Amino acid sequence: MERFEKAFLCAAAIVLVIFLGALAYSSLAMGIHLPSHFGMIHYTAGQKLRRVLRQTPPFDRPGVREIAPGKYQVTVIGLTWSFLPAVIELPAGAEVTFVATSMDVIHGFFIPGTRVNMMLIPGQVSECVYRFRQPGEYLLICHEYCGRLHHTMSARMVVK
């Protein structure tokens, strides 16, 4: 009986080391990490978040801005069943910083085939940095159920 216990403990230790190695490899070597909670948009109970967002930079002008040569900031707002802006155009090879929030309910922000994956929570600002090396058209989808027409919530990214 003791022999089986030792074998089980050894197998469990090996599996644990494999999982920790995979975690270290994905976060250090591949650069995969959790999107950051970048900040909050402060508003009182009497204020409408929609109105506050329209007056709070950078959400007062959603879209693409070049912040340095080869570096862009894309400001995105998720709102019921759509993203603002609906089409994002960027040059290939540019480093892109996505700054995003939600105006109403929790939304997802996911670009398949990349590591861009954030949760958009009303009033919370999320940030993710990515470099689109390959030109093409990318689909930006909501991956958090946000209501009846959730399946129609998407935007396009055109990388030239």
The angle subtended at Cα 95 by Cα 89 and Cα 97, nearest 5°, is 80
Q: What is the mean pLDDT of the chain?
A: 88
Is there a single domain that holds both residue 28 and residue 57? no
Is there a single domain that holds both residue 29 and residue 106? no
Is there a single domain that holds both residue 89 and residue 114? yes
* Residue 22: domain span: 1-33
Predicted confidence band of residue 33 (pLDDT cuts 50, 70, 90): low
122 DSSP 8-state letter: B
With b for 16 or more beta-carbon neighbours within 10 A and e for fewer, the 140-158 pattern comes to bbbebebeeebeebebebe
Is there a single domain that holds both residue 42 and residue 86? yes
Contact present, 156 and 87 (Cβ < 8 Å): yes
Is there a single domain that holds both residue 109 and residue 42? yes
Is there a single domain that holds both residue 25 and residue 96? no
pLDDT in tens, 43-59: 776 678 878 888 888 88
Phi, psi of 50 (to 5 degrees): -55, -45
CATH number of the domain at 39, please. 2.60.40.420
pLDDT of residue 28: 78
Is there a single domain that holds both residue 39 and residue 25? no
Across 118-147, average pLDDT:
91
Predicted confidence band of residue 100 (pLDDT cuts 50, 70, 90): very high
Phi, psi of 87 (to 5 degrees): -130, 130
Is there a single domain that holds both residue 18 and residue 43? no
Rounded CA separation 131/145 (Å): 27
Structure tokens at 15: 């599996």
Q: Helix, strand, or coil here: 136? A: strand
**pLDDT, greater one: 37 or 98:** 98
**Number of structural domains the chain divides into:** 2
Is there a single domain that holds both residue 53 and residue 122? yes
Is there a single domain that holds both residue 79 and residue 154? yes
Is there a single domain that holds both residue 114 and residue 147? yes
